[in-house]
Structure 1
Amino acid sequence: MSDDHSELSSVDRTILSIMQRDSNSRMESIAEEAGASIATVQRRLRHFRQANIIQREIAVVDPETVGQGMTFLILVELERERIDILDTFRRKVTSEQQVQQCYYITGDADFALIALAKDMNEYQKLIQRLFFDDTNVKRFRTSVVMDRTKVGLNVPV
């Protein structure tokens, strides 16, 4: 297989789909479902990890169970879009554990964030740290998530 990720075989795609569903799947189960040998599955997984096709293998934790029951969607508009200012903002946002995702976007806002908090008071502390002292934040708008209808990072393969 070349470095072009679009040239994944059907076996590769099946292995990746299984791993996205449950990265703790047993090699035997993956091999059976993919129609490949255990050695092939091990070799392909090693390649996927080395090539950064599989970027991380994580546990998905229910936010409510650990006291982070509120989810917020935040659109942030910056005053200027110089590369140094964007990088500073990115570093600040990615250092915050409560910010789960950050996207640099087109349209009315420059960034879209998904953040967690246990309550509105904790959310207010987060936005004070992120936005109030940053002279480059022109404005931000927040939507409170009423229901986490679908949450995931699975990529269609």
Structure 2
Amino acid sequence: MPKDQSGLSAIDRTILRIMQSDANARLDHIAEQAGASVATIQRRLRHLREAGVIEGGVIVVNPKTAGQGMTFLILVELERERIDILDKFRRKISGEPQIQQCYYITGDADFALIALANDMDEYQNLIQRLFFDDTNVKRFRTSVVMERTKVSLSVPV
């Protein structure tokens, strides 16, 4: 099974393309698309999971239907950037269910967050909880998402 620079074979790439768009795809469908047997697909899936290529499987919930009708992009600038302080901030953000994504970034801010809230009152409670009592948060800027044009964690393979 020839592999490219990433170490992924053509079968692996087919599996990943299909599974990223439909995590419930049937093995026989994947096998047919990949030109391989169901047993081969099972082995490759197990290998891709064990190798950390596939990190997990999730369902995607429409936030509005779950009562989380507002999305916010938040840029956070910290006062200091020592490793222990960064780790403390990461732990706090990781433990907050309303924060969907957190990125440590370069530029004017230190972190970019994507957050959900039911309404502006709930968002205000979130930022008070996360930022106002944290003496290391120098400033934060928020943009309200007007429309979800594209939402994806798919990786081109």
2:111 matches 1:100: no
2:7 matches 1:10: no
Structure 1 residues 108-130: Cα deviation after superposition (integer angstroms, max 9, x where no partner): 00000000001000000000110
Matches within 5 A, 1:47-62: 47-62=47-62
**1:100 CA displacement:** 0.2
**Residue aligned with 2:97, SS:** coil
**Residue aligned with 2:149, SS:** coil
**Residue aligned with 1:64, SS:** helix
CA shift in 2, pair 1:101/1:37, >3 Å? same
Question: Hey, what's the Cα distance between the residues in 2 that align with 1:142 and 1:34?
Answer: 44
Q: Which amino acid aligns with 1:116?
A: L
Question: Hey, what's the Cα distance between the residues in 2 that align with 1:117 and 1:34?
Answer: 41
**Residue aligned with 1:6, SS:** coil
Structure 1 residues 46-96: Cα deviation after superposition (integer angstroms, max 9, x where no partner): 001111111010010000001001000000000000000000000000100
Question: Hey, what's the Cα distance between the residues in 1 that align with 2:156 and 2:129?
Answer: 36
Q: Which amino acid aligns with 1:104?
A: Y
Aligned residue number for residue 67 of structure 2: 67
CA shift in 2, pair 1:45/1:124, >3 Å? same
Consecutive unaligned residues in structure 1, runs of 5 or more: none
Aligned residue number for residue 124 of structure 1: 124
Question: Hey, what's the Cα distance between the residues in 2 that align with 1:34 and 1:85?
Answer: 47
User: How much identity, in percent, do the aligned residues show?
Assistant: 75
**1:9 CA displacement:** 1.0
**Residue aligned with 2:6, SS:** helix
Consecutive unaligned residues in structure 2, runs of 5 or more: none
Matches within 5 A, 1:17-96: 17-96=17-96
Matches within 5 A, 1:141-156: 141-156=141-156
- Name the TM-score, length of structure 1 as normaliser: 0.96
Question: Hey, what's the Cα distance between the residues in 1 that align with 2:136 and 2:121?
Answer: 24
User: After TM superposition, which residue ranges in structure 1, 4 or more long, deviate above 2 angstroms?
Assistant: none
Question: Hey, what's the Cα distance between the residues in 2 that align with 1:150 and 1:98?
Answer: 19
- Name the TM-score, length of structure 2 as normaliser: 0.96
Question: Hey, what's the Cα distance between the residues in 2 that align with 1:5 and 1:150?
Answer: 29
Question: Hey, what's the Cα distance between the residues in 1 that align with 2:43 and 2:98?
Answer: 36
Q: How many residues align?
A: 155
- What is the CA RMSD across the aligned residues, in angstroms? 1.2
